[in-house]
Structure 1
Amino acid sequence: MKKFKNIMDKAGFLTTILLLIFQSCSSSNDSSDGGSDNPAPSNLTIQVEVVGKTAANPDGDGSGKVNLKINAANAVSYKVLIDNQLKEITNGELTYTFTGSGTKTYSIIVSAYNGSGQFISSTSSVNVYVARKILWADEFDVDGAPNTSKWGYNTGTGDGWGNNELEYYTTRPENVIISNGTLKIKAIKEEYMGSHYTSTRMLTKGKFSFKYGRAEVRAKLPVGGGTWPAFWMLGDNIDTAPWPACGEVDILESVGNNPNVNHSSLHSPGRSGNTPDTKTTTVPNSATEFHIYAAEWSAESIKFYVDDNLFYTYANSASTPFNANFFLILNLAMGGNFGGTVDPNFTNATFEVDYVRVYN
């Protein structure tokens, strides 16, 4: 949601830092002879086996698992920089599992040390395929209230969210219910607790969060001027790093005053409110047909899709908040800074969700 308040580089940079760690742990980076009793390491070899690799599957079986065998003369320990993680081993064998889905090329940097801290280093690379796996999902296939082990709620007046919204968020079945295989968040024009509209805002804070992967929702959007449905994410650290320091990722935002247009945006320090990090795409029949709205998130980028059509790529980096755990939010706001003027003839509207899924 735009201008949220009051609630809740890259690999090369890290590689450089870790290489400094390699060197700082050594009394010398000179591979010359350290004396007849403790000669310097030499003849470093790295063997990388991709589990499940065959002629038909040259990048592995999708498990993402690799086995390393490392050997060097006169070495007593090894340090391995793999997938931006530093591993220390003594026996020359390491099993590692990559988790980012897809086929990628990874660099592996190995240093072999003798007992005096002298070392030699070598670099290898490997292509690995990781199959997409679901980390968390709600299919909304059990009628009644949403699953409380997966979802909590924000409740209260819309003016508490920093957007001048007009609704009062409740947990009532009138505003949120699962029926016939879909979640229905309903905005209603009614007098309630001093507000003129009611709706629901549900979130996974304290129940589920993740770092990197793909988050997607299959949804059908509400109709009516002033409606503002959204599927988005906030940083898990919002209680200690208030917005926008925690970061915000808006995957689906649409407004009834400009139907069939999806906004995907990112908010961060110095780039909040009317953020420049935003793009739109046309989504025909968004209120009469289900569409899939998704973001694929990594240390290098955040890519936004509708029905698997890429329309916006944000360049992520170590300087952004988008490298920590985030939780999910579904809500339907009314009016406000982004939702705009509510149609005077509005009575109610429904944001219908088939599923929410998070993949590795």
Structure 2
Amino acid sequence: MRRLPGLIFMTGMAFILAGPVRAAEGDSLDLSQYKVTFDEPFDSLSVSPWGPGTRWIAHIPWNGAFGDAKFVDPRPGFPFAVKDGILSIEMRKGDGPKWLSGLLASVDAKGQGFSQQYGYFEMRAKLPGGPGVWPGFWLIGLDRSSHTSEIDVMEHYGSMPDKYTASVHVWDRKNPKQSVSDHQRVPVPEGSLYQDFHTYGVSVDATTIRFYFDRKQVWEKPTPPEFRQPFYILVDLSCGAGWPTAGMPDPSVMYVDYVRAYAAK
């Protein structure tokens, strides 16, 4: 993969990067027409390496990997901690080449847990800064038989402190060259994602996917046919993603106030 300002090229895969939008503009979200279906306030944390029986597992359900951090089994105080209703995900340098960090998934390897077709999904979080950090809030389709459907509600590259990225992916598992990804860079005041909590949200229905920053719409896309299925939630702190990690703070910490899902009334 190679990167140029405003563009991404990946061999054998179609990547589209939409033009910039202003995060302060767009329609406000009206949640009066929704009901809460999943509410994680992080007053405590129900997590295990692989389940079952916990609200979250600490690994990618299909046993995959991405980035330059290893998602580790939770142990007391690392990589997860909860205090005053705030979850912290800590990433630190391990003994080997990999950083050690945490991921939360709302279903286990059998697809058991929380998933939902359509609705509004939101996270309120304060992100870590520094070159190489890569926090993310994602939705993944349950059915991965022929395609993996993915919505990146938010992924932030620490090398770009004045923006974050929202994406829609359709990964073709049988013919990877047919995979398509569409991206939107959402500009923000430089460093503002590290200074305070913000909400990152997406609404999905049969026709349209709409992305929100602080409940202001920043982008929308037609819903691909592969997205008409239940999606589950991933929240993680990783690093790299093709960007150098030299100079990345050790440790780096992501703070999450809540994760919620809503369905139309």
Per the normalisation by structure 2, the TM-score is 0.75
Answer whether contact 1:293 1:305 (CA < 8 A) is retained. yes
CA shift in 2, pair 1:177/1:212, >3 Å = same
Whether 1:258 aligns to 2:160 is yes
- Are the equivalent residues in 2 in contact too, given 1:199–1:332 (CA < 8 A)? yes
User: For residue 125 of structure 1, what is the aligned residue in structure 2?
Assistant: none
Is contact 1:168-1:195 (8 Å) kept? no
CA spacing shift, 1:218–1:102, aligned 2, 3 Å: closer
**Among 339, 347, 352, the residue aligned to 2:255:** 352
* Counterpart-to-counterpart distance in 2, 1:264 and 1:169: 22
What's 2:87 paired with? Answer: 183
CA RMSD of aligned residues (A): 2.6
Tell me the distance in 1 between the aligned counterparts of 2:151 and 2:140: 7
Counterparts of 1:294 and 1:102, CA distance in 2: 12
Q: Distance in 1 between matches of 2:188 and 2:91?
A: 22
Deviation digits for residues 46-79 of structure 1 (CA, Å, limit 9, x no counterpart): xxxxxxxxxxxxxxxxxxxxxxxxxxxxxxxxxx
1:167 maps onto 2:81 in alignment: no
Residues 89-128 of structure 1 mapped to structure 2, 5 A cutoff: none
CA change 1:146–1:354 in 2 (3 A) is farther
Residue 234 of structure 1 corresponds to 140
> Which one-letter code corresponds to 1:226 in the other structure?
G
The answer on whether the counterparts of 1:254 and 1:261 sit within 8 Å (CA) in structure 2 is yes
1:216, 1:204 → 2: CA distance?
Answer: 14
Give, in whole Å, the separation in 1 of the partners of 2:118 and 2:69. Answer: 32
Classify the secondary structure of the residue corresponding to 1:303: strand
CA drift of 1:280 comes to: 1.4
Whole-angstrom distance in 2 between the partners of 1:344 and 1:262: 20
What SS does the aligned partner of 2:156 have? Answer: strand
Asked whether the 8 Å contact 1:183–1:352 carries over to 2, the reply is yes
Q: Pick from 56, 59, 65 the counterpart of residue 154 of structure 1.
A: 59
- Give the gaps of 5 or more residues in structure 1: 4-100, 104-129
Any conservation in 2 of the 1:150–1:204 contact (CA below 8 Å)?
yes
Task: Specify the alignment match of 2:184 in structure 1.
Answer: 279
1:91-144 CA deviation, whole Å, 9 max, x = no partner? xxxxxxxxxx979xxxxxxxxxxxxxxxxxxxxxxxxxx7311011100013x6
2:231 is the counterpart of 1:329: no
- Are positions 1:289 and 2:201 aligned together? no
Structure-2 residue corresponding to 1:303: 210
Q: 1:247 pairs with 126, 132, 149, which one?
A: 149
Query: Scaled by the length of structure 1, what TM-score is found?
Result: 0.56
Q: Which residue in 2 is equivalent to 1:134? A: 36
1:128-176 CA-partner distances (Å, limit 9, x unpaired):
xx7311011100013x665863211217xx9x52x4x221111233211
Q: Say if 1:235 and 1:145 are closer, same or farther in 2 by CA, change over 3 A.
A: closer
The question of whether the paired residues in 2 share the 8 Å contact of 1:145 and 1:178 is answered with no
- CA-CA distance at 1:297 after TM superposition: 0.6
Question: 1:220 corresponds to which residue?
Answer: 126
2:132 touches 2:248 (CA, 8 Å); kept in 1? no
Residues 156 and 165 of structure 2 are in contact (CA less than 8 Å); yes or no, is this contact kept in structure 1? yes
Q: Percent identity?
A: 26
Q: Distance in 1 between matches of 2:88 and 2:30?
A: 33
User: CA, structure 1 residues 145+225, in 2 after alignment: closer, same or farther (shift >3 Å)?
Assistant: farther
Contact preservation (8 Å) 1:236, 1:326: yes
Name 1:23's counterpart in structure 2: none
Cα distance, 1:200–1:345 mapped onto 2, change above 3 Å: closer
Bigger CA radius of gyration: 1
CA distance in 2 between counterparts of 1:305 and 1:265 reads: 12
In the TM superposition, residue 179 of structure 1 has moved relative to its aligned partner by 1.4
